[in-house]
Structure 1
Amino acid sequence: MRRSAFVASLSAAAAAVVLTVASPASAINTYNSQPAPERTEVGALIVQWDEDGDPATPDVVDWYCSGTMIDTDVFLTAAHCTTDWAPGARFYVSLAQDVQGALDAAKAVPGRTPAQVAAAVGVAGTEHTSPAYPGNSADSHDIAVITFTDKQAAALASRWSFTPATLPARNQLASLGSRTLAASEWLAAGYGTQEAQRGPGGQTHPGGGVRMKASLGFNALNPTWVRLAMNESRGFGGACYGDSGGPNFLTVGGKRMLAATTITGDGPCYATNVVYRMDTDTARTFLGQYVTLP
């Protein structure tokens, strides 16, 4: 979750998975978090979309969600990040540490078109969203990928060095069991906004656009979800608006896997991150079309 721009995308992209007492996910909180320059496989989803009624010339460029390279030519994110855009929307991926800074600099160059801004900050790709999305509360099918041609993948590799994240084996989280999951390290990463802050105009979610990370605690494993604690008092941080689609890494026996992706949580971004498991048959059936699975 993290990022004010993602709040705007909630209406533009109709973003949310609806869960009991939950709302769409956002950013890495300010408490118990830190920058993540080493997590170069984690990137931002940039969208160029139409706001003036002329879909032939998409005129708005901004970043809206997070995600992870799971192969040299495949970027994993959430379906609610890639759906319900105006016709003609174009998707780009940036693996920069400070995507907001890169966007600001690109937009400041006189005469640049939106397409030139997007290309200056990210690499264009093709969106593939689960056809079963939005599903239901038991299984939202909230999963999507951006794929890249050989030429586009080469452009990514020339701009940013990264090692694709490792996905879990089939039903690996359930096989590990709750005790191991609770005793292991969980880490969320993304570009999202900060936890809710109160002001004269009500609650706001400032910040966003810089890749951050925070440790979380294990709460519960459900058939397609993991519920993670991000309470400050327990030494945890967590996700917020704009972190949607971003990774929740699990480290077991010294090996890190991309166990789940951020989807939703509590609205103020203080308590719970609800993440979509990557080890289920649903996720694997979709991902198996684009990557070789463990």
Structure 2
Amino acid sequence: MRRRLGIPLIAVAAAMLTFGSGPASAISTYNSEPAPERTETGAMLVLQDTDGDGANDDFDWYCSGAMVDRNTYLTAAHCVVDWPAGAKFYVSLDQNVQGELDRSQALGLHGAAQAQWFLDHGHAVEGDPAHDSAYPGNQSNSHDIAVIDFARRAVTPANRWAFKPATLPTAGMLDALSAKSLDNSVWTAVGYGTEEATTGPGGQTHPGGGVRLKAELGFAALNDTWIRLAMIESQGYGGACYGDSGGPNFITISRTLILAGTTITGDTPCYSTNVAYRLDTASARSFLAPYVTLP
């Protein structure tokens, strides 16, 4: 399996400058497990021109996200900005996206031909990206939220996969919970990202990725627009890493799984903290309102 970062390098730099840490992007190998039942969670793939000749020559996965209705895939703004002109965006709800990439490459397919193979074999659908116009914002509110919209597309994820859209929170839901409730609730991150850092002869790398995994996290803090979650192995938690950006962070309340936030950033080696963008705020709800029916 190839080693790679889960989001564009330009987004890595921007996130590190803004938050003083690396962007989160993958689920850890420790205290995590496959998540075939999380059918609303998918990988975002991009077809892009990497050599500047005007032809899209590279097709790969970069971020995670979740379907919040039949036509709307929720992810992070830093996942959909700063791509070359003519880049195309796709979503796959397959459990093992990297496996299908490897399979298509074994057939000698790359770039546009590989993307078409994904479409023809039902492993991806093409959508239209849109992000909060206030992104990148500032440290108090990064406005780091985006969607891949399928409302104007003839083929949508619902035509390819069976899934129940994630349940969004009501306005101010997290503020209404007591500190004890926040601390005692089960928090779960889901995504396709890479593994936590490993150290070898060439330094630290983040192997793996491209397979949907889940991990339980611990509650750390709630800010105006952020949820800070602990992913410390010794405490029984796992968490997000590179490629999990945009992926869902669920809270379980009264046995109901609610999409409380999307993964944005965390510590660079992916060992201690996951920081998620809250979805119950006025800012997030204002962006989402044109795309989904809010609870």
Partner in structure 1 of residue 116 of structure 2: 116
* 1:56-71 to 2 correspondences below 5 Å: 57-71=55-69
Aligned to 1:132: 134
- Please give the TM-score of this superposition, normalised by the length of structure 1: 0.94
Superimposed CA distance per residue, residues 144-178 of structure 1 (whole angstroms, 9 cap, x where no aligned partner): 0001135222xx22321100000000010011132
RMSD across aligned C-alpha pairs, in angstroms? 1.7
**Distance in 1 between residues matched to 2:98 and 2:165, nearest whole Å:** 23
Q: How does 1:1-294 map to 2 (within 5 A)?
A: 4-6=3-5, 9-11=8-10, 16=15, 18-55=17-54, 57-110=55-108, 113-119=113-119, 120=121, 121-148=123-150, 149=152, 151-153=154-156, 156-294=157-295
Distance 2:153 2:85 in 1: 26
Identity %: 58
Partner AA of 1:240 in structure 2: C
Contact in 2 for aligned 1:194/1:206 (Cα 8 Å):
yes
Which shows bigger deviation, 89-98 or 158-167?
158-167
Cα distance in structure 2, aligned partners of 1:127 and 1:247 = 18
Q: Could you say if the C-alpha distance between residues 17 and 147 of structure 1 is closer, same or farther in structure 2, counting changes exceeding 3 Å?
A: farther
Q: TM-score, normalised by structure 2?
A: 0.93
Unaligned runs of 5+ in 2: none
| Count of residue pairs brought into register by the alignment | 289
Deviation at 1:8, TM superposition (A): 6.3
- Contact kept in structure 2, 1:48 and 1:118, CA below 8 Å: no
Residues 98, 209 of structure 2: 8 Å contact kept: yes
Instruction: Name stretches of at least 5 consecutive residues in structure 1 with no aligned partner.
Output: none
CA distance in 1, matches of 2:205, 2:268: 11
Structure 1 residue matching 2:15: 3-state secondary structure: coil
**2:64 alignment partner, SS class:** strand
Letter of the 2:197 counterpart: A
Q: Moved runs in structure 1, 4+ residues, more than 6 A?
A: none
